[in-house]
Structure 1
Amino acid sequence: MRSSGEERQSVNPPSTQAMYDQLHFSQATRVGDLIWVSGQVGIDLADMKPARGMEAQARLAFDNVKTVLRAADASLADIVELTTFHTDLRGDIEEFVRVKDEYIRDRYPSWTAVGVTQLARPEFLVEIRVVAVAGSGDR
């Protein structure tokens, strides 16, 4: 028997509602304290346009992760696993790491970086997905 705290919840910040309605996926799913965040890209949710360059896209992607985690009552400090997908892994990794280290400053999560040939749109350079445990960053 499960407690009510373990029920599956879809997490969709208001700024992502159009994406949910059109593409039929949640930005995150929460079960108890575990949160799985869907891949976030370097797109401005206000105008749905991707930023130019790795640094700008990485910042927007991390900002989008932060927005989704906040809607799930969690924070960047609660990330326990980070998976990133890069269209130019070797060429962009150093720039990406600099941005990542601005958002995740200590108690670094497990991280897997994967080079891919393409993402959902040709302009996308990186996609970030995370798993978080709500409240674990405070412990």
Structure 2
Amino acid sequence: MINPPQNRETYDRFHYSAATRVGDMIWVSGQVGLDPATHTLGQGMEAQSRLAFENLKTVLAAAGATMADIVEIVTFHLDMHGSDIQAFVKIKDEYVPDRYPAWTAVGVTHLVNPDYLVEIRAVAVAHCGAG
């Protein structure tokens, strides 16, 4: 179980780990656009996407991996057809600029908090560099 300090409250409250590592395989639970230090939500899709990717990056680092080790992402979006998906792709490409992992984008009617716009879960293989 991988639980960076900023995820401890979530682990205690909801009884799940930020990630699970078995060998070099790492499964990362859904990450959202919430700043773990201030508990504030990013305003708009770009801000929430950036925070979600930063949270993903932090969890991967705690598991001994990097963003380059991601082999799959699954994202959950409230808006699959408007400007939100375009804003998400722009931020995604900043965090994963090449060696693109497999990606499944799912449209949903709501997430756990009605103000969340996106959630990202990932699978990584430590030290693979996705290559």
Query: What's the TM-score, normalizing by structure 1?
Result: 0.91
Between structure 1 and structure 2, the one with the greater Rg is 1
Question: Given the alignment of the two structures, is residue 133 of structure 1 paired with residue 125 of structure 2, yes or no?
Answer: yes
Alignment CA distance shift 1:135-1:53 (3 Å): same
Unaligned runs of 5+ in 1: 1-9
Does the 8 Å contact 2:99/2:130 carry over to 1? Answer: no
Distance 1:138 1:89 in 2: 26
Distance 2:13 2:86 in 1: 35
Distance 1:76 1:12 in 2: 17
Equivalent positions of 1:53-68 (< 5 A) are 53-68=44-59
1:86 to 77, 84, 106: 77
**C-alpha RMSD of the superposition:** 0.9
Q: Which residue of 1 aligns with 2:43?
A: 52
How far does residue 30 in structure 1 lie from its aligned partner after superposition? 0.3
Does the 8 Å contact 2:70/2:130 carry over to 1? Answer: no
Q: How many residues align?
A: 130
Distance 2:71 2:104 in 1: 12
How far does residue 138 in structure 1 lie from its aligned partner after superposition? 7.2
Equivalent positions of 1:91-106 (< 5 A) are 91=82, 92-106=84-98
Amino acid at match of 2:12: D
How far does residue 48 in structure 1 lie from its aligned partner after superposition? 1.5
Equivalent positions of 1:1-139 (< 5 A) are 10-91=1-82, 92-137=84-129
How far does residue 47 in structure 1 lie from its aligned partner after superposition? 1.8
SS of the counterpart of 1:89? coil
How far does residue 38 in structure 1 lie from its aligned partner after superposition? 0.1
Q: Which residue of 2 aligns with 1:4?
A: none
Distance 1:110 1:138 in 2: 10
Identity of aligned residues (%): 62
Distance 1:19 1:115 in 2: 24
How far does residue 21 in structure 1 lie from its aligned partner after superposition? 0.7
Deviation by residue 1:73-97 (Cα, 9 ceiling, x = unmatched):
0000000001000011111111110
Distance 1:16 1:49 in 2: 14
Distance 2:113 2:81 in 1: 20
Does the 8 Å contact 2:101/2:130 carry over to 1? Answer: no
